[in-house]
Amino acid sequence: MALNRARIAVDAMGGDYAPDEIVAGALQAQDELGAEVLLVGDPAAIEASLQRHDRSSDEVQIIASEGAVEMHEEALTGIKRKPNASINVAMNLVKQGEADGVVSAGHSGASMASALLRLGRLAGIDRPAIGAVFPTMNPNKSVLLLDVGAIVDCRPKFLEQFALLGTVYSQYVLGRDEPRVGLLNIGEEACKGNELALRTYELLQNNPRIPFVGNAEGRDVLSGDFDVIVCDGFVGNVLLKFAEAVGNILLQLCQDELLQGLDERDLDHVMPNLKRLKQRIDYVEHGGGLLLGVAGVCVIGHGSSHAMTIFNAVRLAKEAVDNRVIERIQEKHLVEQ
Amino acid sequence: MALNRARIAVDAMGGDYAPDEIVAGALQAQDELGAEVLLVGDPAAIEASLQRHDRSSDEVQIIASEGAVEMHEEALTGIKRKPNASINVAMNLVKQGEADGVVSAGHSGASMASALLRLGRLAGIDRPAIGAVFPTMNPNKSVLLLDVGAIVDCRPKFLEQFALLGTVYSQYVLGRDEPRVGLLNIGEEACKGNELALRTYELLQNNPRIPFVGNAEGRDVLSGDFDVIVCDGFVGNVLLKFAEAVGNILLQLCQDELLQGLDERDLDHVMPNLKRLKQRIDYVEHGGGLLLGVAGVCVIGHGSSHAMTIFNAVRLAKEAVDNRVIERIQEKHLVEQ
């Protein structure tokens, strides 16, 4: 465990609600999680935001950057054209050892590109993956799905590497001694699937360092039977966004249908339950995705992140730092070289 | 509209709960929907099942078949090795004009293979697709997702054909004059996606017979903004099974969380609402998938179909027959030949 407080560089300029929601979530994380937050962005904008939150610039470190990669920009071009953009400055802090991790809700392609260029890939990893932690039916168990959008045309060996990354993450961050690793597929049997799944199945089955237990169908993702599920970034991204939306839709349906005709006394009894239900199924509260496979901790949040999401993203980054997930992956010499 | 009652051949031997649940659902459909049901299977097994339901064999037509393709069998091999299997006999009824459509909850690969071999593909269609109708946030609007499992390694032109099939289905069965067709993808912009999505986008955009409105992200599937969404069968299958499971999981969560600490009076008020909610989100009630692109109406149900699912599957088949969806597709000369 880290002897010092984890230092998390937060990209204050990234995201639809930057800087106000980002600053609010980052401060809350610093207050409540014991992380040290470094706000990266335009100092004037950050200070104005701090004032709006009745906070002082003495309470948090501000690291100056110039501009940000905009959503409409091509990721790599933006990263290169703006070397002092907030995401680049944040990554540099990690590279220079001045921060232990980065959180950004900005252009996710740009975050990935910046991480790859500035931090580099871990040995034995061809492509990084974004891992998303989903709640499952089992309140005490979550599942890591990866990749959810980094690499949309995967080769079997990429998925094999994702499985190795996921295994270590699950062991050291999610605390699963013997994680159950699955391959997202359209059937349970080894003979099922598309070309990618069929070839990946073989690799996973023959790799002694992967605790592979077989195929996971769509219905198994939230069952709690798997700790890690690998898939290509196209499928994972569609699934992640569907899952987020369906949570919200079902909460809406609950409100529409369940509260009909209830009187005040009923509502007094039901509303606290509805609120608890909301907390359990609201994916937004579960933070962002961890970029696994680069040489540093990097959490990629939604563009639409509000303060609570940023708070959870900082927590995710802090957990990865405290549990030394990057070092663990390196120690494991994950992939034969 | 058909002047005669739609005649639906139901594979009484297919599915985890065959024949009892199949027979029950088929009879209910005949009773309530005004469809004429032909139960295909082992006559003794069907008659025993009818007895268990306190029904007589005078009430329904029974068509004798021998055996069924088992779940563990390879689809094409099973179809060929057992020419008189229930699914083959059911398809033959359609081919010979003695039935207007088929419903089976048996081996879905076998159903597809039997349909392709016996009914053949429609002109201009290289591969059939299974279409699944999802409820959306808008109670009056559903969305057709295809393919949900027929073809797991698609080429762009297959998805283009799926879009054409979906357009006609949406127009004539779901009653959308100007259906909004989307491509399942990881972002809204035309430049987003994997190789397949990028190339398909171009085809869809340049085909004047497809009312293509752009990319649909995972979050858009249930929004009601799209009438038809095309994707390859791998992604579609994962999404379908995830959606089915998530409905059940959330209902379970609702029951776990929402009813806590409620007294009898509260429960009296809340339970009818919960039941209504259940009906809205229970995908199982929405029946099976329609196999589009073959020269006949064929509904592929879940292996785990209970009577209510079979009832809805027969309804789906009947709607396709009544709305002459196969003829409409043929009339449209869908794809240049």
Q: What is the 3-state secondary structure (H, E, C) of B42-66?
A: CHHHHHHHHHHCCCCCCCCEEEECC
- Taking the CA of residue A289 and the nearest CA in chain B, the distance in Å comes to 15
At B286 the pLDDT is: 65
Nearest CA in chain A to B195: A153
Contacts of A263 in chain B (CB under 8 A): 269
Number of residues written out for chain A:
337
- Written out in words, the top-level CATH class of the domain with range B126-285 is alpha beta
Contacts of A244 in chain B (CB under 8 A): 218-219
Q: Residue B22: left if φ>0, alpha if ψ -120 to 50, beta else—which one?
A: alpha
CB atoms B270 and A274 under 8 Å: no
* Cα distance between residue B323 and residue B101, in whole Å: 12
CB atoms A217 and B238 under 8 Å: yes
Per-residue pLDDT at B203 exceeds 90: yes
Q: Is B270 on the interface with A (CB under 8 A)?
A: yes
Q: Mutating which of B191, B270, B279, B282 best tests the A interface, going by the most A Cβ atoms within 10 A?
A: B270
Mean pLDDT of B131-145: 88
Q: Is A195 on the interface with B (CB under 8 A)?
A: yes
Tell me the CATH number for domain A1-125+293-337: 3.40.718.10
Nearest to A221 by CA among A205, A203, A239, A233: A239
Q: Is B166 on the interface with A (CB under 8 A)?
A: no
Contacts of B276 in chain A (CB under 8 A): 257, 260
**How many angstroms from the chain centroid is the CA of residue A191?**
32
Alpha-carbon torsion A50, A51, A55, A58, what sign?
A: positive
Q: Mutating which of B16, B201, B253, B255 best tests the A interface, going by the most A Cβ atoms within 10 A?
A: B253
At B336 the pLDDT is: 47
Q: Is A190 on the interface with B (CB under 8 A)?
A: no
Are β-strands A289-292 and A129-135 bridged in parallel, bridged antiparallel, or unpaired? antiparallel
Convert the pLDDT of each residue in B243-271 to its tens digit. 888 877 777 777 777 788 888 888 888 88
Mean pLDDT of B258-287: 77
Confirm if A303 and A16 have CB atoms less than 8 A apart.
yes
Contacts of B257 in chain A (CB under 8 A): 273-274, 276-277, 280
DSSP-derived 3-state class of residue A229: strand
Convert the pLDDT of each residue in B302-333 to its tens digit. 888 899 999 999 999 999 999 999 999 888 75
The residues spanned by each domain of chain B are: 1-123+293-323, 126-285
At A337 the pLDDT is: 43
Contacts of A76 in chain B (CB under 8 A): none
Q: Is A278 on the interface with B (CB under 8 A)?
A: no
* DSSP structural state of residue B172: H
Q: Is B128 on the interface with A (CB under 8 A)?
A: no
Q: Is A123 on the interface with B (CB under 8 A)?
A: no
Under-50 pLDDT residues of chain A: 1-2, 284, 335-337
Nearest CA in chain A to B255: A277
Superfamily of domain B1-123+293-323, CATH level 4: Isopropylmalate Dehydrogenase (3.40.718.10)
Residues 2..21 of A with a Cβ closer than 8 Å to B: which? none
CB atoms A242 and B219 under 8 Å: yes
CB atoms A242 and B222 under 8 Å: yes
Fold match flag (A1-125+293-337 vs A130-282): yes
CB atoms B244 and A219 under 8 Å: yes
A-B contacts (CB, under 8 Å): 168
Q: Which residues of A68-80 are buried (b: 16+ CB within 10 A; e: fewer)?
A: bbebebebbebbe
Confirm if A43 and A62 have CB atoms less than 8 A apart.
yes
Nearest to B220 by CA among A238, A110, A178: A238
Which residues, at least 6 apart from A244, have a Cβ–Cβ distance to it below 8 Å?
Answer: A283, A284, B218, B219
**How many angstroms from the chain centroid is the CA of residue A204?**
24
Nearest to A308 by CA among A43, A27, A100: A27
Confirm if B75 and B48 have CB atoms less than 8 A apart.
no
Given the structure tokens 């054909």, which residue do they identify? B161
Which residues, at least 6 apart from B267, have a Cβ–Cβ distance to it below 8 Å?
Answer: B259
Question: Which residues are paired to A33 by β-bridges?
Answer: none
Q: Which of A195, A218, A265 comes nearest B237 by C-beta?
A: A218
DSSP-derived 3-state class of residue A309: helix
CB atoms B186 and A270 under 8 Å: no
Alpha-carbon torsion B52, B57, B58, B62, what sign?
A: positive
Q: Which two tokens stand for residue B143?
A: 């969305």
Contacts of A238 in chain B (CB under 8 A): 184-186, 217-218, 231, 235, 239
Q: Is A259 on the interface with B (CB under 8 A)?
A: yes
Select, from the ranges A163-167, B2-6, B281-285, the one with the highest average predicted confidence (pLDDT): A163-167
Confirm if A79 and A114 have CB atoms less than 8 A apart.
yes
Confirm if B315 and B110 have CB atoms less than 8 A apart.
no
Q: Which of B149, B186, B253 comes nearest A281 by C-beta?
A: B253
DSSP-derived 3-state class of residue A135: strand
CB atoms B193 and A243 under 8 Å: no
Confirm if B48 and B71 have CB atoms less than 8 A apart.
no
Nearest CA in chain A to B148: A186
Confirm if B274 and B254 have CB atoms less than 8 A apart.
yes
A108-117, B86-95, B169-178, B270-279: least confidently modelled range: B270-279
Residues 215..234 of B with a Cβ closer than 8 Å to A: which? 217-223, 231-234
Contacts of A155 in chain B (CB under 8 A): none
ipTM, two decimals, is 0.89
Is A130-282 CATH 3.40.718.10?
Answer: yes
Q: Which two tokens stand for residue B296?
A: 């006949």
* One-letter amino acid of B208: P
Nearest CA in chain B to A195: B153
Are β-strands B297-300 and B289-292 bridged in parallel, bridged antiparallel, or unpaired? antiparallel
Residues 283..322 of B with a Cβ closer than 8 Å to A: which? none
- Taking the CA of residue B261 and the nearest CA in chain A, the distance in Å comes to 8
Q: Which of B222, B270, B273 comes nearest A246 by C-beta?
A: B222
* Cα distance between residue A62 and residue A54, in whole Å: 16
Confirm if A258 and B277 have CB atoms less than 8 A apart.
yes
Nearest to B314 by CA among B2, B4, B10, B1: B10
Which residues, at least 6 apart from B37, have a Cβ–Cβ distance to it below 8 Å?
Answer: B7, B8, B10, B26, B27, B29, B30, B60, B61, B314
DSSP-derived 3-state class of residue B288: coil
* Cα distance between residue A140 and residue B260, in whole Å: 19
**Average pLDDT of every residue of chain B:** 91
* One-letter amino acid of A196: L
∠A38-A43-A45 over CA atoms, to 5°? 110
Q: Which of B152, B217, B243 comes nearest A186 by C-beta?
A: B152
Q: Which two tokens stand for residue B84?
A: 């008189």
- Taking the CA of residue A323 and the nearest CA in chain B, the distance in Å comes to 31
* Cα distance between residue A193 and residue A213, in whole Å: 16
At B337 the pLDDT is: 43
Which residues, at least 6 apart from B238, have a Cβ–Cβ distance to it below 8 Å?
Answer: A184, A185, A186, A217, A218, A231, A235, A239
B104-108, B119-123, B125-129, B256-260: least confidently modelled range: B256-260
- Count Cα neighbours of A14 within 13 Å in the Cβ-side half-sphere: 30
Question: Which residues are paired to A37 by β-bridges?
Answer: A8
Q: Which two tokens stand for residue B11?
A: 């594979």
Q: Mutating which of B200, B230, B257 best tests the A interface, going by the most A Cβ atoms within 10 A?
A: B257
- Taking the CA of residue A259 and the nearest CA in chain B, the distance in Å comes to 7
Q: Which two tokens stand for residue B236?
A: 């579609």
